[in-house]
Amino acid sequence: MKQLTIVGAGWAGLAAAVAATQAGWHVKLYEAAQTAGGRARSLSQRFAGQPLDNGQHILIGAYRDTLALMRTVGLDPNILLERLPLDLRFADGQGLNLPDWPMPLNLLAGLGRAQGWTLKDKAKLIQAAWGWQRAKFECDPTWTVAHLCDSARLSPRVMTQLIEPLCLSALNTSVHEACATVFLRVLRDALLGGTGSSDLLVPRVDLGALLPDACLQWLHAHGADIHLGTRVSAAHLEELQQAATHNHAVLLACPPWDAARLTADIAPPWAYQCAELSHTAIATVYLHCKDADFQGLPRPMLALHSHAEAPAQFVFDKGALSQQHGLLAAVVSACDTERDEVAEQVHVQVSEQLGLTHLEMVQTVIEKRATFACTPMLDRPEPLVATGLWACGDYVRGPYPSTLEGAVRSGQHVVTQLSQMTHGEGWR
């Protein structure tokens, strides 16, 4: 029987484990932590009887493979995810939101009713969108998103209310450093991926219940060996790799810094690539609103006016999403501030911009290496590490930034390659 040993039970490792099981492989899954999910997991801390998450994540309708994986393991995305047409409006109603219409009608209608935008703002954005589409959403590979938008002469208002928050939420990298090629690829899939592709999908449940828990149950039911709380050493990995055959492969699905440590002796150049990746942080500040008349935010997700002293880009109403009444989750992408300072800044920001007076700090979670910095011409590691040893994850070479969909596709892609190779002579 074909056997695949997977090191890491984040979303990439879980996606690979499910795909391999479906393809007839016997899976052994090792995870150093006691819970699955990696950097998209639930925490032990609870509010209103439900777990907090290590960060507020958003999916979009274009995440086809992630949604399909949820269905495979018995989950219903329509129940677990709140589907919202793209809505980047602020509390005062200014900003862009798209109706649930086909492209380009949704974009034209959204621009037509965008409050606070001048005709020049709208015309320049339409002109830019058509130009990007004519260019097949491709550009100079050395460009940053700032270069891309400068060439399109987008207005400061469009930049601050649309491009900057989109870039930060999708690439977790500022517009002055983010890769324009990857940004355009995300826009292409969201805008041209069919009806609903640009919709925001916001979890109604904790991240464990959103996918990892069901994956583990599905894998257990289908005969996989699951070892949580079990760390694989570099020596153990080398033994597994040396014993690999065309019917027995090893897959690293751990973060790049762990992958670099584990492969330092097996594949030094590959390990060096992993170790050289730069990372950016994401902070989620949980606040409890105790205003007597607070009935929730106007919408489940609101954009926030963001600058250096007010760093959060979005705030989520967990009462509307997951029945945690009064709980707000404010998100700071590309966070470069220490925990106490960012918590205080966001507390003031949310209070002032939403007119809330009694906010109590619940928890501040900073994932310091949440994503790789998605910069132009970035040289990402290949999925093949060494003979019989592979890697998957949102950082492995691929077309997408560091997202849940990128992780899922990476895991599935490696399994597809392995399955194709077993029909030939393998790698020996």
Question: For 344-366, how does the pLDDT look when each residue is reduced to its tens digit (9 = 90+)?
Answer: 999 999 999 999 999 999 999 99
Residues linked to residue 31 through DSSP beta bridges, in sequence order: 228
pLDDT tens-digit map of 214-243:
999 999 999 999 999 999 999 999 999 998
Does position 121 have pLDDT exceeding 50, yes or no? yes
What mean pLDDT, rounded, does the chain reach?
94
Tell me: cis bond preceding 268? Omega within 30 of 0 counts. no
Give pLDDT, residue 427: 45
Whether the per-residue pLDDT at 104 is higher than 80: the answer is no
pLDDT at 294 over 70: yes
Confidence of residue 19 (pLDDT cuts 50, 70, 90): very high
Q: What pLDDT, on a 0 to 100 scale, did the predictor assign at position 231?
A: 96
pLDDT of residue 425 exceeding 70? no
Residue among 254, 301, 190 at smallest CA distance from 411? 254
Name the amino acid, one letter, at 1: M
Question: In this predicted structure, what is the pLDDT of residue 424?
Answer: 56
Q: What are the DSSP E strand ranges found in 173-326?
A: 200-203, 225-228, 248-252, 279-289, 301-303, 314-317
**Per the structure block, which two tokens stand in for 237?**
């990995």
Looking only at the bridges linking them, the beta strands covering 26-31 and 3-7 are: parallel
> Which residue segments constitute the domains of the chain, with CATH numbers given?
3-38+206-278+376-422 (3.50.50.60), 105-192 (no CATH), 279-372 (3.90.660.20)
Q: What is the CA radius of gyration of the chain?
A: 22
d(CA 391, CA 381) in angstroms, rounded, equals: 9
